[in-house]
Structure formats: structure tokens, C-alpha cells
Homo-oligomer: A and B are copies of this chain.
């Protein structure tokens, strides 16, 4: 019940994402092993396995196992990376073998596996559902297991995961004697559908359906943040707005989309579609980030998109990509791919340092002069690891599986929806087509798609992003009139190997304003170029405070050479602006609205860098939305 289907193979061969994946493979996943040992995640499972008598459980959060599972999923996907060298593969093999043996040893006879409960509450199972995260952890184990089975045909994790899933199937349900409940953190829903796909076992799909159906009936009971924190306030089919903890919401909706694909229940599709549009229209930052509130890591009210305290958890960006990618396959509509792109390049990628060793939990759209760090996980500075380390391994597994998010097949052709150098094979009808992509995107707008294998006559379709007016197409160097509709440009012909379709996207820098109901962005602009949102950083704009800067909306915005401290290919922007004089100082900062405001100030050229590189050089102020002058 999807319009589009995943490519069966993919290799990313160059450019921005290949470099991010190289760093992920060589640095992040490897240091992840060290961090997970330092943070106690391995020790806790060893305790569950009875291997470390006398040691105490490390940490207080009930979902530490899931950090290890997400990292294992990254390991599993990385096995499929053609650029993995022998030494790297041997290292991953050691990681995997050690981990798989540990999980086998820790798993109870009946299949239960959750070190937090096994060590701290022996015998207690599925009774602390609101905050226990047992099914959440199970879901991440399942996803790692499915990944490993897909990439290597290696069932070591799958055997463990199936025993867990079988226990869940046996334990939960509305029938007498079972636990009628759901997990406080959605995740197992999408995982169980995937496990069903991998194994064909119907009971996993049935369990996923049960968990989706039962959410929204306040089974989780009272909680300080309210039922909507868990999306337990109303059944998903009746919900009209995304609410509560943003990661929970988008993970749930990814599962809802998955369930629709298997069940064909249109009420699920309608709900997912309705909530996606509400989320995007009223609760999504220009970076693609979601989640306004720090306190409960939650969506705010409609149009409540404050910049200084944007939460924009990195995990929420990942969940948004998961959700949108599923909706793209279901609907075939380009807007979902547009949001995947925006989120990957901005809200997601900013979560990781360029050197692959530091992560950020909450992504600000603005850092003030005088910002004082809080000292906690949610600081506006990247850190090697967190007490609540959900984001780092989530970044790893996303980068490690990124080749899936580029090309899709379908009944009548192949679609390139993200512009990444590499090669892909995808189903086209009952056959397959292969393409290679050459591009310097996002720095340059030319995307060349060469057909490597063709099953005859089919449509080669490329996405035309919603920001790209004036895109042009050629085939083998000749201009063509493509069918351009709803964000796609498509050329149907008898494609021969060697044929090349070239898409040229205009990458003029753009000045963007927000919906007037977004108070936080009033009378302000953001700079964009291609899929990238730009920001001003203090390090690039010395001599004046970003608090005092105004951008000249009528002035030109030019591309500029990069800072030597940034990777060579990063394109920076130069905008014209002014440094507004400080208002007359006084003890009270509010004044008569009819009194004259500080007038024009010194003209300056302002330098902007892609948002995803912010905070990699020197600490200091940063802002995306800047007053328009």
C-alpha cells in the first residue's frame, strides 16, 4: 500500500554525506563503544547476566539499554557500507560479537531482557509502563536485530529480539490474564512491524496494532506532564494536533504509518497525514527541528516557536525524518521528501560536531551574548556524551543507514528524492533500474543522474524542492520538457545505460520570513541557500554584538569563500546590514512606543554559515532569525 518502495541497494560515494558517514564509521561508532563502557551501559547488562557480582547498577534512567541497541543498529548498518575497510569490519565484528554474547547471557529464560528491571527490580515486569521504557528498549533491540539480519543475514541479535518480542506478544493484550497496557515511549510499534516484515510472523503485526489502538485511552495513568505527554490523551485516529513529548509523537506516527502499510486502514493514513500537516504548518522550525519546550521536551502551542529556547531535540529531528520518509513512500508526495531534506541538512546535522566526537541534545536557533550554560544535558554546547545519551547513537544509526533515504522505486519508475552522489538500484515495476548520481549538492545545484541499468521504458523522476523556482532539466545534454507537477520532474522514455538526466537547481541565496503568527520571528529574516538554513555566528562577525545586528532585506546576499577553519567545500554567505546603536541606557528597558527608536547605524557586511556547522569553532552568540532592516 505504498506508492513508492525502498531502493534495494545504495552506495554514497562522495560529498557532504559521504564525509559525515566516514567520520561516523571511523570515529563516532568506535568512540561509542568506549562511551557505552564508560557510561555503564555494558556493565549494567553484565550485571543482568550475573557476570559482575558486587558491582552496582550505573545510572538512574530506565532506558540505558536502548543506547547500546541504537549503537548496535549503527554497527549493523555499517556492515553494509562498501567503504568499510577490513580493519574497520574486524572492529565492528568484535563489537557485535561481544554485545551479542552479552545479550544472550543477560536474557532470562522466558525471553525477558531489560537490565534496569532485572538488576534493580528483579521479577518486576511490565508494571511501570509509564516510565519503565521496557517496550521502548525492546523496540530498539528489534530494530538493531532487523538491521543486522538484513545487512549480513546474521541472526544472532534476531534470535534474542524474537524471544523478547514473543514474550511481549504473550504478555500484552486485552484478554484476561494479560497486561492491558502500552509503553510510555512509543517505539515498539514501528519495530514490531519491521520484525513482522523480516520474519513473516503475524503476531508481531498484531501486537503493533494493539499498541497503536490502545494508546489514547489513558492506560498510562496520571503523570505530572499530563496524558498528552505520552500521546495517551486521545486515540491517534481522533487527534487533530501533535502534542506532548515530540520524540514520542513522531516515533508513534512512524509506527502508525508502518501499520497502515501492512493493514491498509485508511483511518490510520488519514490521521498520520493530518498530524504531519498540523505539525509542519504550526510547530516546525525553519530548520525542520520540532519541540519547543525544555521542561517536558514537548511541542508548544501552535506557532509557539521561540528561538532562544527552541528545544529541537536531535532525536526528534531523526524521528521526524523517519515519519516523513514513511509518508513519502505511502503518498508519493514530494513535500515529505522536502521536509526530510530540510531536517537532515539542518535540524539533524547540527546535532553532531564536524569531528564526530561531540553531540548536542537540544538545538537552539539562537544563542544570546552572555549565554550561561546550564551544565546539564540540554546545554547549548556539544558534548562527548550525556547522562541521557539517547541522541548520540541515534545520530550514528541514522548516518549509517542514510543510503536508504535517497532513492525510491515504484510501479512506473525510479525517483531520486535526495541529491547525494552515489549509486542506487530500485524496483521498477517487476524489474529493477540502477542509477548513479554525480553532484556537488548542496554547494552546487547541478545533479546528474546516469542510468546504469534499465528495464526498458520507465519514468526517471527527480524532486524539485519547494524552494527551487526555475529548475531546468536536460537529457544527454538536450533540454527536455519534463512533466513537472507537485514537486517532481519526470522524464519517461526507453532509458538506456549511459543516458544522463541533469537537473539544475537555482541556488540563489534566499531571505525568508515566517508566518506572521510566529511571534518569535516577527520582523525578522532567515538566510537560506538550497536546502541549507544559515546562521550568523559571533566568530564570523567580530566587532559587533549579534544582538545589535539588522539585515538589509533589500540588499544583495552573495556567496563568499569559506572560513579556513571550516571544511573546504562549505559555502558561506555575505549579507548587507547595519549595527543598530544601543538605545539610551536607563534603569528601565521599556519606553513610550511613540518615542523615536535608535536610528540607522554603521553599515556592515555580515557573514553567515550553514547552521549545521555552528559551534564548531569558538563559543559565542549565534542566530538564525535576525531583525529585518
**Chain A contact residues, CB within 8 Å of chain B:** 223-229, 241, 243, 277, 280-282, 284, 286, 292-296, 298, 300-304, 306-309, 335, 338, 366-378, 387, 466, 510-520, 522-526, 547-548, 553-554, 580, 583, 585-594, 597-598, 625, 627-628
Contact = CB atoms under 8 A, between A and B. Distances in A.
Contact of A374 (B225, B277, B368): B225
A593 B308 contact: no
Contact of A225 (B375, B515, B517, B592): B375
Contacts of A307: 519
A597 B372 contact: no
A592 B557 CA distance: 14
Given A522-B627, A592-B512, A594-B511, A587 B368 contact: no
Contacts of A510: 592
Contacts of A372: 226, 228, 241, 243, 301
B224 A369 contact: no
- Of the listed residues A241, A369, A370, the one surrounded by the most CB atoms of chain B closer than 10 A to its CB is A370
Given A295-B294, A524-B522, A627-B522, A580 B512 contact: no
A39 to B, nearest CB: 15
Contacts of A227: 375
19 contacts: A225-B375, A226-B373, A226-B374, A229-B374, A281-B587, A281-B589, A294-B295, A300-B309, A302-B547, A304-B368, A307-B519, A466-B588, A511-B593, A513-B591, A513-B597, A516-B583, A516-B597, A517-B583, A526-B590
A591 B335 contact: no
**How many copies of this chain does one complex carry?**
2
Contacts of A553: 593-594
Given A280-B588, A375-B225, A522-B627, A512 B301 contact: no
Contacts of A511: 592-594
A378 B301 CA distance: 15
A225 B594 contact: no
A370 B589 contact: no
A522 B523 contact: yes
Nearest to A366: B519
Contact of A515 (B303, B368, B583, B627): B583
Contacts of A628: 593
Contacts of A592: 510-513
| Main SS class of interface, A | loop
A123 to B, nearest CB: 24
- Of the listed residues A309, A387, A553, the one surrounded by the most CB atoms of chain B closer than 10 A to its CB is A309
Contacts of A514: 589-590
Contacts of A512: 590-593
A303 B368 contact: yes
Given A301-B372, A370-B301, A627-B522, A593 B281 contact: no
Contacts of A228: 372, 375
Given A294-B293, A294-B294, A593 B525 contact: yes
A511 B376 CA distance: 40
A308 B302 contact: no
A547 B520 CA distance: 12
Contact of A293 (B224, B309, B367, B368): B309
A525 to B, nearest CB: 5
Contact of A547 (B225, B338, B517): B517
A376 B326 CA distance: 34
Given A302-B370, A511-B593, A308 B519 contact: yes
A302 B367 CA distance: 11
A511 to B, nearest CB: 4
Nearest to A373: B226
A523 B226 CA distance: 35
A490 B223 CA distance: 57
A338 B587 CA distance: 11
A368 B516 contact: no
Contacts of A284: 589
A282 B226 contact: no
Contact of A523 (B306, B523, B587): B523
A296 B295 CA distance: 8
A369 B302 contact: yes
A304 B369 CA distance: 10
B375 A589 contact: no
A526 B282 CA distance: 25
A193 B145 CA distance: 65
A368 B226 contact: no
Nearest to A523: B523
A218 to B, nearest CB: 12
A282 B589 contact: yes
A386 to B, nearest CB: 11
- Of the listed residues A296, A554, A593, the one surrounded by the most CB atoms of chain B closer than 10 A to its CB is A593
